[in-house]
Amino acid sequence: MKQPTYFLSHGGGPWPWMDGDFRQAHAQLEASLQAVPSALPEAPRAILMISAHWEAPAFTVQTAARPGMLYDYSGFPPHTYEVQYPAPGDPALAERVVALIEAAGLPAARDAQRGFDHGAFCTLVPMYPQANVPVVQLSLKQGLDPAEHLALGRALAPLRDEGVLILGSGFSFHNLGLMFNGRGQAPSVAFDAWLQSALLSPEGRAERLRAWAQAPAARQAHAREEHLLPLMVAAGAAEGEAGSCNYHETEYLGGITASSFRFG
């Protein structure tokens, strides 16, 4: 059965391994991630993960059979630099992804050394805590062109009929300078309202995403758009299909409005 695609807000740093107030701030997000597997038509044979935390000159595919870990955060407790998410890779799927990208006339590359970054493993651990679903990561392309990433999604769409769950991991609002001083509330509300309007219906969705920077509070929500670009891939892979919001809260980290979306 055809798998849906998702754009998932992935939360802050290594939050699944934290406790106290910081962990509690992720309670609604955690519940939404835990609910994803039961909402699928069947268990995926593998996951293709597009994380905001990997950019490369070409769309680069993780090819390792046993990817390691990449602790791409700072200032967290020592134990968070030892956590493991030992999901296997899938070299055959990696080659299939390369072939689809190249067939679409897009640039592709391979990386046998890249480990899972926190955009991947912090999203996956609530969903599949046993790490028993193979995972392949795929980079964004430097330049962060929305049209290129929508085209990437279209190229990857056949994977959905092959049991592959395509996940874009980023954040619907990502301006750290505004998150922690109370000034992010209004722009997060405005940009989230635009996302809800733009994403739920397929009509005109691609055109609106290509012009996302014209949305209300767009550059306050994403001063740099790497955390939004995984959305383009998820939406492109489900072009013409309806969207729904599977996570929404208005008090993330004390006042930010944040959302995640499903397509198909």
Q: Would you list the domain boundaries of the chain?
A: 5-263
Give CA–CA dist 228/191, Å, rounded. Answer: 12
Q: How is residue 33 written in tokens?
A: 């991630």
Give CA–CA dist 43/45, Å, rounded. Answer: 7
Beta strand pairing call for 108-111 and 59-62: parallel
Residue 251's contacts (CB-CB under 8 Å, 6 or more residues apart) are none
Full DSSP string of 49-107: EEEEEEEESSEEEE--SS--B-----SS-GGGGS--------HHHHHHHHHHHHHTT--
Query: In 10 A of CB 100, how many CB atoms?
Result: 18
Superfamily of domain 5-263: LigB-like (3.40.830.10)
Q: How confident is the model at residue 151 (pLDDT cuts 50, 70, 90)?
A: very high
DSSP, collapsed to helix, strand or coil, labels residue 66 as coil
SS (H, E, C) 46-63: EEEEEEEEEEECCEEEEC
Give CA–CA dist 217/3, Å, rounded. Answer: 32
Q: How confident is the model at residue 139 (pLDDT cuts 50, 70, 90)?
A: very high
Give CA–CA dist 107/51, Å, rounded. Answer: 18
| DSSP summary character for residue 223 | S
> What is residue 181's predicted lDDT score, i.e. its pLDDT?
76
Q: How is residue 71 written in tokens?
A: 């602790």
Q: What is the model's pTM?
A: 0.97
Q: From edge to edge, which strands make up the β-sheet containing 164-170?
A: 108-111, 59-62, 135-141, 46-56, 164-170, 5-9, 256-263, 243-252
Q: How many CA atoms lie within 13 A of 124 on its CB side?
A: 29
pLDDT beyond 80 at 112: yes
| DSSP summary character for residue 232 | H
Instruction: Scan for tokens 């991630």, then name that residue.
Output: 33
> What is residue 233's predicted lDDT score, i.e. its pLDDT?
98
> What is residue 205's predicted lDDT score, i.e. its pLDDT?
98
Contact 44, 166 (CB under 8 A): no
Give CA–CA dist 120/130, Å, rounded. Answer: 15
Distance of CA 170 to the CA centre of its chain: 4
> What is residue 223's predicted lDDT score, i.e. its pLDDT?
94
User: In this structure, is the dihedral angle defined by the CA atoms of residues 139, 178, 6 and 12, taken in order, positive or negative?
Assistant: positive
> What is residue 180's predicted lDDT score, i.e. its pLDDT?
75
> What is residue 177's predicted lDDT score, i.e. its pLDDT?
79
Q: What sections of 145-217 are H helices per DSSP?
A: 146-156, 176-179, 185-199, 205-210
Query: Which helix (H) or strand (E) is 126 found in, with range?
Result: helix 118-127
Q: pLDDT of 49-81, one tens digit each?
A: 999 999 999 999 999 999 999 999 999 999 999
Q: pLDDT of 155-183, one tens digit each?
A: 999 999 999 999 999 999 999 878 877 78
